[in-house]
């Protein structure tokens, strides 16, 4: 009986210890040579990710990858994917971090943050950084093609789309756990502080109501080191 209990305790120790052991990393070594998505998550500048994680120290970020109350965590190092959904304050925040590999094996780190705000409902922020020579360099405009409302609008509405609408439009990029194809969804335009007069905003709402497509694909081209538009999906 003692042997059975000892065996059970050993198994439990291994199972519980494996969570912590997986993220036992030395900050100096990781900064010198980051190898997996957990490494990049641990050293990316704090202002590049949500403040609920960005304000944490190196070790605190590793500890944060443990599941807890009101928190969902996915860490898939094989597919270079981290997803954390939590409620750090009054509203939920979903943070996804992945990387894409260029032809020269340089990595493009992608960060997507979505959540809820009291004024505008859903919000979305996404950015891409090239990790080179120990630095995270902003490359979103270089690797992501320009997004615009006409990509989703009905053909008859495209001439009515204004520059102010395009400037205020918010998009959500869903980063992949499997493969290298992202999905882009039109989130919309907040009614507050959008630089449009009421008539122009109401016109946008009409255009949005008639959107022909619900989302489109962005496909990673490893040789060209950038994303290209893929298939569009009708509503």
* Cβ-based burial of 133 (10 A; exposed 0-12, middle 13-18, buried ≥19): exposed
Which stretches of the chain are assigned E, i.e. beta strand? 72-76, 81-86, 93-101, 107-117, 121-132, 135-138, 170-174, 181-188, 213-221, 226-234
Which stretches of 67-106 are assigned E, i.e. beta strand? 72-76, 81-86, 93-101
Q: Is the dihedral of CA 23, 26, 28, 32 positive or negative?
A: negative
- What does the pLDDT read at residue 97? 98
* Cβ-based burial of 61 (10 A; exposed 0-12, middle 13-18, buried ≥19): buried
Cβ atoms within 10 Å of 108's Cβ, excluding its own:
22
- What does the pLDDT read at residue 19? 38
How confident is the prediction along the chain (235 residues), in pLDDT tens digits per residue?
444 444 443 333 333 333 334 678 999 999 999 999 999 999 999 999 998 899 999 999 999 999 888 899 999 999 999 999 998 777 789 999 999 999 999 999 999 999 887 778 788 999 999 999 999 999 999 999 999 999 999 999 999 999 999 999 999 999 999 999 999 999 999 998 899 999 999 999 999 999 999 999 999 999 999 999 999 999 9
Cβ density class 70-96: b for 16+ within 10 Å, e for less: eeeeebeeeebbbbbbbeeeeeebbbb
Within 13 Å, how many C-alpha atoms sit on residue 47's CB side?
3
Question: pTM to 2 decimals?
Answer: 0.86
8 Å CB contact between 44 and 129: yes
Pairing of strands 213-221, 181-188: antiparallel
8 Å CB contact between 227 and 145: yes
Which tokens is 28 given? 């100096």
Domain boundaries, the chain: 1-143, 145-235
Q: Is the dihedral of CA 72, 75, 76, 79 positive or negative?
A: positive
8 Å CB contact between 222 and 168: no
């Amino acid at each position: 009986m003692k042997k059975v209990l000892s065996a059970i305790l050993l198994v439990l120790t291994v199972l519980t210890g494996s969570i912590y052991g997986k993220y036992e990393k030395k900050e100096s070594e990781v900064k010198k040579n980051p190898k997996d998505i957990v490494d990049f998550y641990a050293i990316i500048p704090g202002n590049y990710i949500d403040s609920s994680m960005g304000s944490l120290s190196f070790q605190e970020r590793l500890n944060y990858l443990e599941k807890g109350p009101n928190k969902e965590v996915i860490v898939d190092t094989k597919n270079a994917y981290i997803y954390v959904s939590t409620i750090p304050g009054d509203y939920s925040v979903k943070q996804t971090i992945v990387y894409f590999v260029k032809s020269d094996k340089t990595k493009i780190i992608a960060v997507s943050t979505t959540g809820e705000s009291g004024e505008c409902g859903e919000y979305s922020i996404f950015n891409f950084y090239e990790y080179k020579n120990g630095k995270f360099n902003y490359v979103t405009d270089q690797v992501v093609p320009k997004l615009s409302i006409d990509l989703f609008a009905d053909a008859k509405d495209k001439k009515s789309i204004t520059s102010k609408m395009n400037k205020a439009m918010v998009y959500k990029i869903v980063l992949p756990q499997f493969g290298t194809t992202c999905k882009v969804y039109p989130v919309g335009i907040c009614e507050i502080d959008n630089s449009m007069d009421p008539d122009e905003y109401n016109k946008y709402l009409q255009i949005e109501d008639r959107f022909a497509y619900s989302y489109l694909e962005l496909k990673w081209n490893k040789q060209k080191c950038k994303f290209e538009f893929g298939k569009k999906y009708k509503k």
